[in-house]
């Protein structure tokens, strides 16, 4: 991937992902697979019963995160009681600086492990291919400001969110991770004393604007005023860079709106008279961000708020209409296209990216006028069918200058896919899926980021059983062939310049049984998560499974070969085992109870002056102690 990380960086959830990937290394040493036998030296105490763990004013060492994979969703009623008891809980209290409890406020634990966003390759077979929910658990405070959240996965990094998406939005790093079979006390979470901002948002004609989102991030306006404030749920992103085969329009998953609401910025909306009251603003010099998806998004600031506890009236705040731009859509014969969908947006000042809003629909002459743009270069994209990839404009023009942005829809392509088994026989009844990609080396882009679409309604079967897929936009396509009894097969086909023919050879698969037991007494482990990786150096997730009551699971979608199976269960050691399939003997993975490490940190002869982040890694994973940066909790 080249420019795609820049695009993904606009996601609300990026901060949590970066934390997980930068600070965590979840690779574990391969453990031996026990084939029918048991380790006589393995003798561990059973897990403790669910009981509160007192904080006692001490900070517990933060555990190294293990995978938290959201792919395998089990209905709440189907989660066994033994697994529920193995989960952890958190309690705490939310108070004002004065010590007064904050009642009836939402408290959420947000975060995940290092594999939260890496779904398995066969996840496309699920009809619910969605982004994971970063909210691990939530509750509302009672009259004394107390909250209790149970049923939390362990081994995660994250944050405690107070009133996410609301006027008192605040977050603090989760300094204690949930512990299996216990409830940890986070103590008092003190909300800083705040300022209340009030005002009325009006348009250029001094008419009050209802429904405007008002946010007050404690971020300098120079860090916001380069166009990123244009992004809101429903927008798309055009990336135009020389490293790409061609300009590419990235359509964020629909769940981005859910992530956007997790931003720890005090947020409210104007009422029917354009008025707003925002009580959770930290004193200082915050920015004020206004947007409604119609007018030009605005960043005001820095705003001197005054002392904590005060109210600052911003008066009447004008929200500009922005500049307008006429877009004309033509087909490959230079004829106007009526009814085409169009997205348009201003280009960012810091890179080859434009944030597009829409869609808008062209009239009979192929034109549509779009407002709310900046007085700067703008780009756009168009398509005539929701099944098509967006065709980006090949040029940018300045909005508000009377120039017209022209978008030419290119001719469509056809791909002929020859699908054969290992013996060269045609495979009938295959399901064809595909997704347009910016490059032919973006195979690591997860399916939930750029979703493959079913293409069956565009497939005809040829005389020799080949699959002829038509009505494809001229992009590099990744095609996925899914046939019963065979492993998924993926290939990139470049359709930028002309039609192509490609052969897919499918590998037969079988169901492979595996059992997970405790090493201490060989008792089965129910509802353990199994994540199967390929033998590549990075280790791409191939499939996942959950064990049944007898500790067994079926590994599906796997051809014969060597794999690495990682087993995760709260309170038990994360174990990765090498497995050769098929196996002549039953495959049994034994899980140790794990251990607790306690200690103290001496910093220049005394205790640390600030909270430090403690990470646990296997010996030998870091070659030099200097490789480990000095990290404090506040660094996160």
- Which CATH number is 413-505's, of 3.30.470.20, 3.40.47.10, 2.60.40.1120, 3.40.50.150? 2.60.40.1120
Instruction: Confirm if 507 and 559 have CB atoms less than 8 A apart.
Output: yes
Indicate the pLDDT class of residue 125, thresholds 50, 70 and 90: confident
**DSSP SS3 for 14:** helix
The continuous run of DSSP H or E covering 201 comes out as strand 195-202
Beta-carbon contacts of 232 under 8 Å, excluding residues fewer than 6 positions away, are: 213, 260, 291, 293, 297
- Assign 465 a pLDDT band (cuts: 50, 70, 90): very high
Tell whether the model's pLDDT for residue 324 goes beyond 80.
Answer: yes
Would you state the structure tokens that stand for residue 237, as one six-digit string? 């992103």
Q: Where does the pLDDT of residue 26 fall: very low under 50, low under 70, confident under 90, or very high at 90 and above?
A: very low
pLDDT digits (tens, 9 = 90+) for 162-200: 999 889 999 898 888 898 999 999 999 999 999 999 999
List where CATH 2.60.40.10 sits in the chain.
Answer: 4-31+50-191
Identify whether 21 is preceded by a cis peptide bond (ω within 30 of 0): no
CATH superfamily of 323-408: Carboxypeptidase-like, regulatory domain (2.60.40.1120)
Between residues 627 and 71, the one the model is more confident about: 627
Given a cut of 50, whether residue 296 has pLDDT beyond it is yes
Tell whether domain 4-31+50-191 is in CATH 2.60.120.260. no
Give me the residue label for tokens 């107070």: 162
**Which residues lie closer than 8 Å to 487 by C-beta, 6 or more apart?**
506, 507, 508, 509, 557, 558, 559
- pLDDT of 428 over the 90 cut: yes
- Across-strand partners of 426? 420
CATH 2.60.40.1120 positions along the chain are 195-217+263-318, 323-408, 413-505
Is the pLDDT score of 23 beyond 50?
no
In residues, how long is the chain?
A: 636
Closest CA to 81 of 115, 109, 49: 49
pLDDT at residue 271, as a whole number: 97
Stretch among 31-40, 117-126, 568-577 having the lowest mean pLDDT: 31-40
Look at residue 122 in the predicted model and tell me its pLDDT: 79
Task: Please name the fold of domain 195-217+263-318.
Answer: Immunoglobulin-like (2.60.40)
List the 182-191 sheet strands across, edge first.
Answer: 51-53, 182-191, 88-96, 146-152
Residues sharing a CB contact under 8 Å with residue 109, sequence separation 6 or more, in sequence order? 90, 135, 136, 137, 138, 149, 152, 158, 159, 160, 161, 174, 178
The CA distance from 454 to 444, in Å, is 20
Please give the Cα distance from 228 to 9 (Å, whole number): 11
Q: Rounded to whole angstroms, how far apart are CA atoms 571 and 181?
A: 7
Q: Is the pLDDT at 2 greater than 50, yes or no?
A: no
For residue 622, what pLDDT band results from cuts at 50, 70 and 90? very low
- Residues pairing with 377 in the sheet: 398
Q: In this structure, are residues 291 and 299 in contact, taking their beta carbons and an 8 Å threshold?
A: no
Percent of the chain with pLDDT over 70: 80
Residue 36 has pLDDT above 80, yes or no: no
pLDDT per residue as tens digits for the range 189-229: 999 999 999 999 999 999 999 999 999 988 776 656 556 67
């Amino acid at each position: 991937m080249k420019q795609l990380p820049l695009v993904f960086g606009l996601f609300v959830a990026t901060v949590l992902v970066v934390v997980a990937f930068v600070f965590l290394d979840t690779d574990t040493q391969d453990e031996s697979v026990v084939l029918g036998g048991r380790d006589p030296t393995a003798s561990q105490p059973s897990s403790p019963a669910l009981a509160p763990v007192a904080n006692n004013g001490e900070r517990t060492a933060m555990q190294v995160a293990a995978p938290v994979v959201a792919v395998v969703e089990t209905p709440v009623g189907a989660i066994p009681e033994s697994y529920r008891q193995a989960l952890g809980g958190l309690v705490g209290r939310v108070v004002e600086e004065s010590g007064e409890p904050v009642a009836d406020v939402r408290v959420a634990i947000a975060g995940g492990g290092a594999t939260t966003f890496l779904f398995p390759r066969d996840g496309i077979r699920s009809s619910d291919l969605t982004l994971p929910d970063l909210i691990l658990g939530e509750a509302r405070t009672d009259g004394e400001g107390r909250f209790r959240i149970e049923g939390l996965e362990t081994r995660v990094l994250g944050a405690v969110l107070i009133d996410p998406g609301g006027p008192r939005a605040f977050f603090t790093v989760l300094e204690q991770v949930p512990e299996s079979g216990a409830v940890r006390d986070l103590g008092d979470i003190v909300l800083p004393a705040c300022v209340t901002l009030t005002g009325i948002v009006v348009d250029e004609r001094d008419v009050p604007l209802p429904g405007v989102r008002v946010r007050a991030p404690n971020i300098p306006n120079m860090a916001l005023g380069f166009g990123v404030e244009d992004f809101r749920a429903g927008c798309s992103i055009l990336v135009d860079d020389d490293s790409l085969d061609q300009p590419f329009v990235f359509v964020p998953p629909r769940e981005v709106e859910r992530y956007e609401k997790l931003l720890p910025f005090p947020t409210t909306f104007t009422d029917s008279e354009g008025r707003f009251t925002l009580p959770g603003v930290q004193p200082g010099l915050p920015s004020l961000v206004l947007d409604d998806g119609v007018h030009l998004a605005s960043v005001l600031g820095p705003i001197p708020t005054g002392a904590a506890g005060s109210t600052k009236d911003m008066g009447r705040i004008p929200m500009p209409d922005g500049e307008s731009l006429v877009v004309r859509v033509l087909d490959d014969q230079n004829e106007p296209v009526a009814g085409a969908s169009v997205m348009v947006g201003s280009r960012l000042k810091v890179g080859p990216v434009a944030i597009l809003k829409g869609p808008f629909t062209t009239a009979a002459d192929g034109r549509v006028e779009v407002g709310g743009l900046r007085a700067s270069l703008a780009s756009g994209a168009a398509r005539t069918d929701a099944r098509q990839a967006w065709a980006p404009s090949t040029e940018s023009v300045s909005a508000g200058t009377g120039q017209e942005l022209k978008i030419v829809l290119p001719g469509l392509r056809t791909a002929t896919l020859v699908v054969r088994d290992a013996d060269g026989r045609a495979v009938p009844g295959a399901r064809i899926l595909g997704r347009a990609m910016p490059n032919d080396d973006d195979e690591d882009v997860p399916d939930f980021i750029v979703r493959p679409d079913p293409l069956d309604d565009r497939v005809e079967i040829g005389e020799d059983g080949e699959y002829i897929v038509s009505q494809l936009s001229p992009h590099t396509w990744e095609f996925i062939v899914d046939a019963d009894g065979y492993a998924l097969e993926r290939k990139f086909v470049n359709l930028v310049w002309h039609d192509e023919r490609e052969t897919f050879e499918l590998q037969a698969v079988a169901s492979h049984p595996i059992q997970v037991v405790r090493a201490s007494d060989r008792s089965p482990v129910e509802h353990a998560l199994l994540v199967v990786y390929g033998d590549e150096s990075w280790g791409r997730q191939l499939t996942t499974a959950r064990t049944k009551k007898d500790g067994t699971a079926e590994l599906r979608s796997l051809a014969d070969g060597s794999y690495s199976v990682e087993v995760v269960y709260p309170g038990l050691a994360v174990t990765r085992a090498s497995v050769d399939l098929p196996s002549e003997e039953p495959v049994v993975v034994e899980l140790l109870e794990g251990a607790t490490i306690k200690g103290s940190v001496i910093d220049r002869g005394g205790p640390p002056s600030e909270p430090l982040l403690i990470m646990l890694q296997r010996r030998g994973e870091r070659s030099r102690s200097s490789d480990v940066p000095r990290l404090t909790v506040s660094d996160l």
